[in-house]
Amino acid sequence: MIDVSNLSVKYGGVVALDHVSLHLTDGVIGLIGPNGAGKTTLINAISGFAPVVGGTIGVNGCDLLTMAPHARARWGLARSFQQVQTVPDLTVEDHLLAVLDAKGLPRAGRAAEIDHALGFLDIAHIRNTEGRDLNQFEARMTEIGKCLVGGPRMVLLDEPGGGLSDIEMVRLRRAITRIHAEFGAQVLLVDHDVDLIRDVCSVTAVLDFGKLIAYGLTSEVLANEVVRAAYLGR
């Protein structure tokens, strides 16, 4: 489990996160809020790419903030991006191999790890497809596949549903729901699709103007009048 305590991030004079505290439990945790609320900033802070000015990110008695981004990745922190990070001339399998190389994992067992991730996501049939030939859904699933190799402990998904069709969302929903059971990783899911959050997240946090305004059971959070006013516009 990861404990975010009084986390603050500033860009110059702009406070992007203001003393945010979250207890990230097992399973899938939702993170929602209006545009500019600080959702991606929180993911960037946890993964090591935001100017944290205060607070801690505790895990197993240590503070992730003391670790460089590559050390966090080797510990088991994995993330996706709003804009897919695929390389045009690398195959899907190459993308997953690059993650295993970066983590310095032994070559023995790599093929099995890749087979596991591709099979889990039902994209084994595109393992030899190059990045330039992937459609939006295939590229997003490749991004998630990169998160699932190398022994992930915490997976941060930043709007994985962006641009997907209803049928593709069904497949995405099924995959996210099963990540914890299949790989043992916690999942922090950022998405604007309230139906996706409602379906896959047991608990949900809400940010607004860099502040945490609600955190609890997803059904209760989505019914909260403050949340509805800030995020749902009701």
pLDDT tens digits along 102-158: 988 888 889 999 999 999 999 999 999 999 999 999 999 999 999 999 999 999 999
Examine the pLDDT at 234 and tell me if it is beyond 90.
Answer: no
Phi, psi of 183 (to 5 degrees): -120, -10
Please check the confidence at residue 233 and state whether its pLDDT lies above 80. no
Dig out the tokens for 194 from the structure: 């309230």
Which residue is listed with tokens 């949340």? 227
pLDDT tens digits for 154-197? 999 999 999 999 999 999 999 999 999 999 999 999 999 999 99
Sorted by where each starts, the structural domains of the chain and their CATH numbers stand as 2-232 (3.40.50.300)
Instruction: In whole angstroms, give the CA distance from residue 24 to residue 2.
Output: 5
Residue 232 pLDDT: 63
Lowest mean pLDDT among 60-64, 96-100, 172-176, 210-214: 60-64
6-to-3, 10, 41, 172, 174 alpha-carbon distances in Å:
10, 13, 14, 32, 33
pTM here is: 0.95
